[in-house]
Amino acid sequence: MRIISGIYGGRRFEAPKNLQARPTTDIAKESLFNILQNRMDFDEVQALDLFGGTGAISFELLSRGAQKVTCVELGRQQQQFILKVAGELHIGHELNLVRGDVFKFLKSQAVVAPEGGCYDLIFADPPYALPELSTLPDIILQSNLLKPEGLFILEHGKDHNFADRTGFKELRTYGAVHFSLFTKEM
């Protein structure tokens, strides 16, 4: 895993060989962050990283100056790797690591989320074969989790098409990686 830019830019971390994660490729991640850099000021971003895996997206956001990132990951081994990297980078309260099921987390947070939303950016990189993957845009956009000007990005494979969904704005494709971008309709 490589952090591309920002204060931790260029740092590399070797994930354990048996880690059950499919990290976003460097090319796709760099392209995505080039898009985001033109759309938001990272210094003001509060972000939610769902299905955190190696934590690559969370660390990239923090490296670029995000105020706070909440990373949700169910796997114990993935969580231990994220904590290890956070320790090596001396990241403290800026990273809130939650070990748990993403859908249970979203349900619990939607109940307590303020009307104006919590997050400027929500990123989800679920397993491409996850049966509930297609429900994520509706769950996110129908909750109060995303701020009115916020952006939800769903990473997925070629078998999913979200163009007809409410809030869908665009699709970006980088090899086998597809990013569907959504905003909350007001």
pLDDT at residue 171 in the model = 97
Question: What whole-number distance in Å separates Cα of residue 135 and Cα of residue 18?
Answer: 29
Kindly state the DSSP code that residue 114 receives in the 8-state scheme: -
Q: Judge whether 107 lies within some domain.
A: yes
Above 70 in pLDDT, residue 90?
Answer: yes
Above 90 in pLDDT, residue 22?
Answer: no
Q: Judge whether 6 lies within some domain.
A: no
pLDDT in tens, 40-60: 999 989 999 999 999 999 999
SS3 at position 89: helix
Locate all alpha helices (DSSP H) within the chain, ordered by sequence.
Answer: 26-37, 56-63, 76-89, 102-112, 136-141
Above 70 in pLDDT, residue 158?
Answer: yes
Q: Judge whether 19 lies within some domain.
A: no
Beta-sheet strands, E only, within the chain: 46-50, 68-73, 95-99, 119-124, 146-156, 168-174, 177-183
Q: Judge whether 169 lies within some domain.
A: yes
Average pLDDT, rounded, for the chain: 92
Above 70 in pLDDT, residue 95?
Answer: yes
CATH of the domain at 91: 3.40.50.150
pLDDT in tens, 113-144: 777 778 999 999 999 889 999 999 999 999 88
Percent of the chain with pLDDT over 90: 79
Above 70 in pLDDT, residue 72?
Answer: yes
Q: Once rounded to an integer, what is the mean pLDDT over residues 89-116?
A: 90
Q: Judge whether 12 lies within some domain.
A: no
Q: Which two tokens stand for residue 105?
A: 């987390």
Answer whether 0.75 is exceeded by the pTM: yes
pLDDT at residue 26 in the model = 82
Above 70 in pLDDT, residue 65?
Answer: yes
Q: Judge whether 20 lies within some domain.
A: no
pLDDT at residue 186 in the model = 65
Domain that holds residue 66: 26-183
Q: Are 113 and 144 in contact (CB under 8 A)?
A: yes
Structural domains in the chain (count): 1
Q: Judge whether 14 lies within some domain.
A: no
Q: Judge whether 11 lies within some domain.
A: no
Among residues 161, 111, 110, which one has the least CA distance to residue 134?
161
